[in-house]
Structure 1
């Protein structure tokens, strides 16, 4: 497979994560980097203030940044745009025939737009055909969920399928990178926890219902169980840790829950997609794990680690995932890989 791809919003933190993950991708050739008018015309090394731990890939240093508008050579465009800009710009690309793999929230809950986790709801990519017909587009928009929603939904999915869920409560401890490099002032977060992230709780409470829903007659019938979220910003760089309380429809045991999550796999694993983790959910038996610094990079940051699994009538656990890899750029890339494999591009 040999597919040309571009990144829009290429100079920001998520844009940089896209570039890092795409720089040596076996299927995707990174041919275009787009950003604001302020950055357009500059070499990428001059336009971007690189903030990731790893070095900027040499292959992109001399690429000239272009404006964020259709016209450059690419079959897939990875969008790291802020949602307010994505709402206007992403349809322009889709109308012109690009596949837009978006990390933005602007179109996640649109009825004809897939909100995709390939291990969870790969059949939802069939919405693309409906989207193209309804909107008269040659291309399409496909979205990945909010970072906390992805980390939550991966371990919850096998439990919902096997035992059913009546009530799900989650308290998140979210890394500062989720707000972008300049999103949380240092004086606000150092020596502090902020018990509010604007709009986050609503996303966590609604997106999972769409992802776990069934595609019937061209529409997604959302899953109906109670979800309650409390979201907190904590002073770690990367990695969202979440505490879960799950009430199941069928009586179950801790051992059954562990076994169900441990054996969970989906289309990415069966198709051996390049970015897919071998195990979407990793079970840890250590009393004090998962821990953000020690577990966020498991399987290249694409797995979710679950631990402290306990309870009888109500199952409790702690889960952890890398918010800018599995929760953002890596998720969009995995979505694009599924589309490519299924010949939806």
Structure 2
């Protein structure tokens, strides 16, 4: 896709939180988008962003953003697109208010993911689902991205589903601390420990995957008939969700065929040359020690996934390990790619 003549003004809702901060970090220098508004809770309103935010990203706050004044999360911001990093406790009505007022809301929150007319979008996986927004009654639109643990899983499954058909999947996650936000899990709970429960995570993985891998027919998504079981654990890693996956297919599949399908997988974002589209989408490692969060979470600028240890499974057909960057691919970066696809497909007008 050709470079835009003028950058598109965008706002960030929940700008002081962990996802909001990641939006700011990733959007700095973006070739299409320029941050023109920051929204946050009442305690931050009226303050310069650098005074309102407890910044904990690895890069410094971009100077221009640091000196912006924080606004209320109300639909009078100087932009048409807003990225929502709002907590689910407040996101629902705020996002709807913006959509009603004509804004395009690109949401990382769970509130609207399962709404029939809202795309639960991973552009490399189900770009055609974006057309669901044409049925929305809002003056604007709402587009969502899935839970961070769901994202890495569906990116590994989609190429296999297209080629061999998926029958059953069992996934056990080892999820990074950053997925819990800030301040997140207490150090006394996680040091020298693992926590075998993340509230609502297993249910989200099990239902979101079926919608994402579902087929768009007559303006509705027919959920996948895949049988999926998820077990989710919090582990003492900062960034990078690791998942151990076992699965069975509807058609016979050889190991070398599976690896080839992963390595060759490309989709609409890669064809369009979207700025945040990784290419390759999937890295496969033959070394049995890989992937590892510290070594591989930043591949493709954090937007690609890494897979390794494909081998026979004594219960199902095969098993493997997949790694994804939860705050980039699984949150802010995935939402930015959603916005890029929306613009590329002509759904944004000045």
TM-score band w.r.t. shorter chain: over 0.9
Residue ranges of structure 2 left out of the alignment (5+ in a row): none
Residue in 1 aligned with 2:345?
342
Residue in 2 aligned with 1:284?
285
Shift of 1:196: 0.3
Shift of 1:317: 0.4
Q: For residues 23 and 165 of structure 1, what CA distance do their matches in structure 2 show? A: 39
Q: Which runs of 4+ in 1 moved over 3 A?
A: none
Output aligned runs, 1:296-307, within 5 Å: 296-307=297-308
Shift of 1:253: 1.1
Residue ranges of structure 1 left out of the alignment (5+ in a row): none
Q: SS of 1:276's equivalent?
A: coil
Output aligned runs, 1:157-168, within 5 Å: 157-168=158-169
Q: SS of 1:257's equivalent?
A: helix
Residue in 1 aligned with 2:20?
15
Q: Does residue 174 of structure 2 align to residue 169 of structure 1?
A: no
Q: For residues 289 and 43 of structure 1, what CA distance do their matches in structure 2 show? A: 43
Q: Deviations over 1:38-64 (max 9, x none)?
A: 001011000001011121112211011
Output aligned runs, 1:67-216, within 5 Å: 67-131=72-136, 135=137, 137-216=138-217
Shift of 1:332: 0.3
With the length of structure 1 as denominator, give the TM-score of the two structures.
0.98
Shift of 1:254: 1.0
Q: For residues 202 and 273 of structure 2, what CA distance do their matches in structure 1 show? A: 33
Question: Is the CA contact 1:278–1:299 (under 8 Å) kept in the aligned structure 2?
Answer: yes
Q: For residues 64 and 108 of structure 2, what CA distance do their matches in structure 1 show? A: 23
Q: Deviations over 1:71-92 (max 9, x none)?
A: 0111110000011211111000
Q: For residues 297 and 157 of structure 2, what CA distance do their matches in structure 1 show? A: 18
Q: Deviations over 1:88-114 (max 9, x none)?
A: 110000001110000000000010100
Q: Does residue 261 of structure 2 align to residue 260 of structure 1?
A: yes
Q: Deviations over 1:211-254 (max 9, x none)?
A: 11111111111011100000000001110000000101111111
Q: For residues 278 and 174 of structure 1, what CA distance do their matches in structure 2 show? A: 24
Q: Does residue 59 of structure 2 align to residue 54 of structure 1?
A: yes
Residue in 2 aligned with 1:225?
226
Q: SS of 2:109's equivalent?
A: coil
Question: Is the CA contact 1:23–1:59 (under 8 Å) kept in the aligned structure 2?
Answer: no
Q: Deviations over 1:288-327 (max 9, x none)?
A: 0000111111110000000001116611100001000000
Q: For residues 75 and 341 of structure 1, what CA distance do their matches in structure 2 show? A: 16
Q: Does residue 334 of structure 2 align to residue 331 of structure 1?
A: yes
Q: For residues 229 and 24 of structure 1, what CA distance do their matches in structure 2 show? A: 37
Question: Is the CA contact 1:113–1:143 (under 8 Å) kept in the aligned structure 2?
Answer: yes
Q: Does residue 32 of structure 2 align to residue 27 of structure 1?
A: yes
Q: SS of 2:59's equivalent?
A: coil
